[in-house]
């Protein structure tokens, strides 16, 4: 195995005991002012409670049944998360009034930039690294940086290209560059990082963890390093990555949502989480010794009794850091942090499946001793984000069975004599099918609409999106696409939850290159959605299903063409409003352009011997 590493500096990283809390663990984090958390959770609980109380009053007109209690529970479980998102947007809006502050001066740090890779395209990884290193040389923070490419690549041909790329980068890099390839891909990314920490971690006060597609400006890296140096009680500081490299319909939709709407949610999260923040696995700086001493992950036990690796490790590691008294902070105002996004619906779903399986594991960790309540909430929220899709799906079935009126209410029709099922007033089917659907869609879209209105009201901000006309067209396009793809994602996430609960699904690497899939693949991938959509249209044609479900029926019935359309190169069309333009596409950051140039140069360097041989 090709390797070029500095002298070893081992650092112990013991696996943590989930059944016993650390004794006397306190880095001086202190109690947080509860005002921001109250501003998020109290309105969310009040609004959800009010909705449930109103529905209870309607249901109770003819006496409550077990079926109605189940329906109320499902509505409450789905509605509460929507209201929490809305409240978070409100807190984010209020939090924007807080002035930005500069970190206090502190001694510089020795920082290791870690890039774990697994069968990635070498010139993309090393090209990004070259751009970041060159940009870092322009910074004056005084910190020392070294880059480590930590390879778990199993393909020998790709590994050979990695070594060629490493040699080319080392020859021209302005900072130290190292490369290590493991013989065995033990414990995946977790094991890759543990191997570095236990082998070389003692030499570096901090490690900035990057993904293979991560890209950060030198200013962002230096700012994170300075923030960590200025806060000796901080164990981890997470940045807010923005999406780049988006050219297809689906990627542009995600990018526009991330940039136009995500900032307000991120601001709100940072304000109420405070020192009990979260970790997203990349584009974050970590205090090495704090992480080694408090975030070592043990194996779980599967239902069959076999050791089970914790897959979505980042949330758990942040919880363990906070359990040991270290601050976990989120700084969304640090600009210059980027990552790429899947280019098609299928690529997104494949990534989502592995995230789902990992997040469902978090339910088994909620009883871990010593966790902060906010950390437990993060773990539960990660799992709930996927569990809500089956809940929405069950509600969809209820809506379909309720029919258009009392005569077409399938539930009442088949269960008139059954006391367990409801006997609702004739108007109730209209309330359920219409008002529920409208209110839910309105609440789901409210965070986006709020952010859009704030941008539209700010002349300087809206100009960054190309002006009010272009921005309005982009907002309407993104909202339409979101409504179209949401039911498909609901079905796919329901499948992912079922697969995760029974232990199915692997941990495949993310596809970095958008490609149009053949029609056979699209049909095989989306046949369930197409079938459900077809059944809804049959119900509509027979007058059994409410017309309010037409948007969902259309989305599911046309899942195959919608999935194919997700790969369309939207960036090439001439209508600016439909291109979903945003500040990153209209004014490409210099680091993105530099990385693209560096990628091309690195590819030419790697492939030159092959071309010469031909």
Q: Report d(CA 334, CA 346) in Å as an integer.
A: 31
Look at residue 398 in the predicted model and tell me its pLDDT.
75
Query: Structure tokens of 525?
Result: 């991938």
Q: Mind listing the pLDDT tens digit for each residue in 210-258?
A: 999 999 999 999 999 999 999 999 999 999 999 999 999 999 999 999 9
How many C-beta atoms surround the C-beta of residue 139 within 10 A?
18
Domain annotation covers residue 155? yes
Domain annotation covers residue 195? yes
Q: In residues, how long is the chain?
A: 614
* Strand ordering across the sheet containing 177-181: 3-4, 177-181, 144-151, 110-117, 206-209, 284-287, 234-238, 327-330
Q: Mind listing the pLDDT tens digit for each residue in 273-332?
A: 999 999 999 999 999 999 999 999 999 987 777 888 999 999 999 999 999 999 999 999
Look at residue 465 in the predicted model and tell me its pLDDT.
94
pLDDT band at 12 (very low <50, low <70, confident <90, very high): very high
Look at residue 445 in the predicted model and tell me its pLDDT.
82
Q: Report d(CA 559, CA 50) in Å as an integer.
A: 35
Span 460-486, average pLDDT: 93
Q: Report d(CA 541, CA 557) in Å as an integer.
A: 14
Q: Within the chain, how many helices (H) and strands (E) appear?
A: 22, 13
Q: Report d(CA 224, CA 110) in Å as an integer.
A: 13
Which residue shows structure tokens 């006496």?
Answer: 63
Q: Mind listing the pLDDT tens digit for each residue in 18-56?
A: 999 887 665 455 566 788 999 999 999 999 999 889 878
Residue 613 has pLDDT above 60, yes or no: no
Domain annotation covers residue 132? yes
CA of 568: how far to CAs of 348, 434, 573, 596, in Å?
15, 33, 10, 22
The total of structural domains in the chain comes to 1
Q: Mind listing the pLDDT tens digit for each residue in 506-558?
A: 556 666 677 889 999 999 999 999 999 999 999 888 877 777 788 889 999 99
pLDDT band at 438 (very low <50, low <70, confident <90, very high): low
Burial of residue 157, with CB atoms counted within 10 A of its CB: 0-12 exposed, 13-18 middle, 19 or more buried: exposed
Domain annotation covers residue 344? no
pLDDT band at 586 (very low <50, low <70, confident <90, very high): very high
DSSP states along 224-285: HHHHHHH-TTEEEEE--PEEE---SHHHHHHHHHHHHTHHHHHHHHHHHHTTB----SSSEE
Look at residue 25 in the predicted model and tell me its pLDDT.
64
Residue 418 has pLDDT above 80, yes or no: no
How many C-beta atoms surround the C-beta of residue 70 within 10 A?
12
Look at residue 430 in the predicted model and tell me its pLDDT.
46
Look at residue 215 in the predicted model and tell me its pLDDT.
98
pLDDT band at 122 (very low <50, low <70, confident <90, very high): very high
Strand pairing report for 337-340 and 215-216: antiparallel
Domain annotation covers residue 137? yes
Burial of residue 234, with CB atoms counted within 10 A of its CB: 0-12 exposed, 13-18 middle, 19 or more buried: buried
- Residue 21 has what DSSP assignment? P
On whether the CB atoms of residues 297 and 190 are closer than 8 A, the answer is: yes
Look at residue 197 in the predicted model and tell me its pLDDT.
98
pTM for the model = 0.92
Terminal CA-CA length for the chain: 27
Domain annotation covers residue 433? no
Provide the percentage of residues in the chain whose pLDDT is more than 90. Answer: 66
Residue 425 has pLDDT above 50, yes or no: no
Average pLDDT, the chain: 88
Taking alpha carbons only, the member of 527, 452, 464 closest to residue 492 is 527
| Sign of the CA dihedral with 333 first, then 229, 170, and 196 last | negative
Look at residue 97 in the predicted model and tell me its pLDDT.
74
Angle at 235 between CA 229 and CA 237, to 5 degrees: 75
Strand pairing report for 284-287 and 144-151: unpaired
Identify the H or E element spanning 327: strand 327-330
On whether the CB atoms of residues 288 and 207 are closer than 8 A, the answer is: yes
Domain annotation covers residue 445? no
- Residue 130, domain extent: 107-217+589-614
Span 346-364, average pLDDT: 92
On whether the CB atoms of residues 365 and 373 are closer than 8 A, the answer is: no
Q: Mind listing the pLDDT tens digit for each residue in 255-269?
A: 999 999 998 899 999
Span 184-198, average pLDDT: 95
Q: Report d(CA 210, CA 591) in Å as an integer.
A: 15
What CATH number did the domain enclosing 594 receive?
A: 3.40.50
Look at residue 420 in the predicted model and tell me its pLDDT.
43
Provide the percentage of residues in the chain whose pLDDT is more than 70. Answer: 88
Q: Report d(CA 583, CA 57) in Å as an integer.
A: 48
Domain annotation covers residue 262? no
Look at residue 405 in the predicted model and tell me its pLDDT.
52
């Amino acid at each position: 195995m090709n390797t070029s590493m500095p002298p070893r500096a081992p650092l112990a990283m013991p696996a943590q005991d989930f059944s016993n809390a650390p004794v006397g663990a306190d880095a001086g984090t202190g109690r947080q002012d509860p005002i921001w958390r109250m501003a998020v959770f109290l309105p969310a609980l009040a609004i959800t409670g009010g909705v449930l109380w109103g529905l209870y009053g309607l249901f109770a007109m003819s006496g409550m049944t077990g079926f109605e209690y189940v329906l109320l529970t499902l509505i409450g479980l789905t509605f509460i998360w929507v209201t929490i998102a809305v409240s978070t947007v409100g807190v984010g809006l209020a939090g924007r009034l807080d002035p930005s502050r500069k970190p206090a001066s502190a001694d510089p740090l020795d920082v290791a930039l870690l890039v774990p890779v697994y069968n990635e395209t070498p010139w993309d990884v090393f090209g990004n690294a070259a751009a970041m290193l060159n940009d870092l040389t322009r910074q004056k923070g005084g910190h020392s940086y070294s880059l480590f490419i930590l390879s778990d690549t199993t393909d020998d041909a790709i590994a050979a290209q990695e070594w060629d790329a490493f040699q080319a980068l080392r020859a021209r890099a302005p900072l130290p560059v190292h490369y290590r390839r493991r013989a065995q891909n033990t414990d995946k990314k977790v094991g890759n990082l543990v191997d570095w920490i236990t082998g070389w971690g003692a030499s570096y006060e901090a490690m900035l963890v990057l993904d293979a597609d991560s890209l950060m400006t030198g200013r962002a890296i230096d700012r994170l390093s300075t923030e960590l140096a200025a806060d000796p009680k901080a164990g981890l500081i997470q940045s807010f990555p923005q999406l780049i490299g988006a050219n297809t319909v689906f990627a542009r939709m995600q990018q526009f949502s991330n940039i136009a709407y995500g900032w307000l949610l991120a601001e709100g999260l940072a304000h109420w989480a405070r020192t009990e923040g979260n970790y997203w696995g990349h584009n974050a700086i970590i205090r090495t010794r704090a992480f080694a001493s408090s975030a070592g992950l043990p194996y779980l036990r599967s239902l069959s009794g076999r050791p089970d690796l914790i897959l979505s490790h980042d949330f758990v590691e942040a919880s363990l850091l906070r359990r040991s008294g270290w601050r976990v902070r989120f700084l969304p105002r640090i600009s210059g942090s980027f990552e790429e996004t899947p280019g098609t619906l299928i690529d997104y779903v494949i990534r989502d499946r592995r995230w789902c399986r990992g997040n469902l594991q978090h339910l088994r960790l909620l009883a871990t001793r010593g966790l902060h309540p906010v950390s437990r909430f993060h773990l539960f929220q990660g799992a709930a984000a996927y569990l809500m899709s089956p809940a929405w799906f069950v509600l969809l079935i209820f809506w379909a069975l309720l029919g258009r009126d009392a005569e077409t209410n399938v539930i009442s029709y088949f269960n008139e004599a059954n006391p367990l099922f409801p006997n609702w007033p004739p108007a109730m089917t209209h309330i359920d099918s219409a008002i529920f659907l409208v209110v839910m869609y309105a609440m789901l879209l409210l965070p986006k609409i709020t952010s859009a209105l704030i941008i539209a009201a700010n002349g300087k901000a809206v100009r960054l999106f190309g002006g009010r006309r272009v921005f309005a067209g982009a907002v309407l396009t993104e909202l339409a696409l979101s409504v179209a793809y949401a039911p498909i994602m609901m079905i796919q996430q329901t499948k992912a939850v079922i697969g995760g609960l029974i232990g199915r699904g692997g941990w495949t690497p993310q596809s970095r290159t958008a490609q149009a899939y053949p029609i056979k693949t699209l049909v095989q991938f989306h046949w369930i959605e197409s079938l459900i959509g077809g059944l809804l249209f049959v119900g509509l044609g027979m007058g059994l299903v409410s017309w309010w479900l037409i948007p969902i029926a259309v989305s599911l019935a046309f899942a195959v063409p919608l999935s194919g359309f997700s790969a369309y190169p939207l960036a090439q069309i001439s209508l600016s409003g439909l291109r979903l333009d945003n500040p990153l596409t209209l004014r490409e950051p210099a680091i993105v352009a530099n990385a693209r140039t560096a990628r091309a140069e690195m590819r030419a360097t790697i492939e030159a011997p092959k071309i010469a041989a031909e």
